[in-house]
Copies of this chain bind each other. A is one copy, B any other.
Amino acid sequence: MELIKTIAEMQRVSASFPAHQKIGFVPTMGYLHAGHLSLVEQSNRQCDITVVSIYVNPAQFSPTEDLSSYPRDLEHDLELLTQYKVDYVFFPTNAEMYPAGYKTWVEVEEISNILCGASRPGHFRGVATIVLKLVNIVKPHLMFMGEKDFQQVTVLKTLLTDLNLKTQIVSCPIVREKNGLAMSSRNVYLNPQERQQARCLSETIRKIQSLYKAGITDSAQLIEAGRKHIRERGGKLDYLSLVDSETLEMMLVSNSRTRIILAVFIGKTRLIDNQALVSR
């Protein structure tokens, strides 16, 4: 496994990849968990070379968010990635990615300003910009991303298509803890009681799925049942929506194209989750 710190070196390496080899890329913010590692496994399976980036991108955090406290453990991350036989780990500094005088930002309109984008203004602008930069540096054929960040995957698929880039996104299923909690680096913020409470996100998804199965298609009714459950478990709802899985538009009447998507504060920690209304 080769460690790369500079853009110039990463570009030199990516330019040297043989044309017939398939390059897989897993962009991460580090503090790796089983969700990230499932992406690495997928890349290893589908590609000849796997590049993982570790970069906590300041541009996707608002001033009031948890940038400074975001969990980091590079040493452990590198151990894991060595075990998983990653070929290259790219971990640039902020000065590399946003040097003095940096001015260029990418925005995927409409779908960046709803759901998580409404709660986190500027978040997807930061995500879109850094991922575009990383794609230009690494030049992967396939980019592996977790479905936990469902809106992020939608935003980035739109970005790549709109900007005529050839990189394809492979979105991979959410990896969950035994109790249903979606894996997230932010789960480390939870104390034992909050960890119990946090189950309400996946429980809400299952509740809505079963109500739909029982014949309820009115989204307002499904959402109200979900809200009630989160309230009872002591979560503070940020949003709970039933949206079209392609366009992320709200659906008044739910059907097999619907995605359940939600964000909930458990104590001070904001958690997200989502799932298809009808499991495939």
Contacts and interface: CB of A to CB of B under 8 A. Distances in A.
Interface of A: 7, 11, 19, 102-111, 128, 132-133, 136-137, 158-159, 162-166
A166 to B, nearest CB: 7
Nearest to A15: B166
A99 B72 CA distance: 41
B104 A107 contact: yes
Contact of A104 (B7, B109, B137): B109
A19 B20 CA distance: 13
Main secondary structure of the interface of A (DSSP, over half): mixed
Contact of A103 (B109, B132, B133, B166): B109
A267 to B, nearest CB: 35
A197 to B, nearest CB: 36
B103 A164 contact: no
A136 B158 CA distance: 15
B104 A163 contact: yes
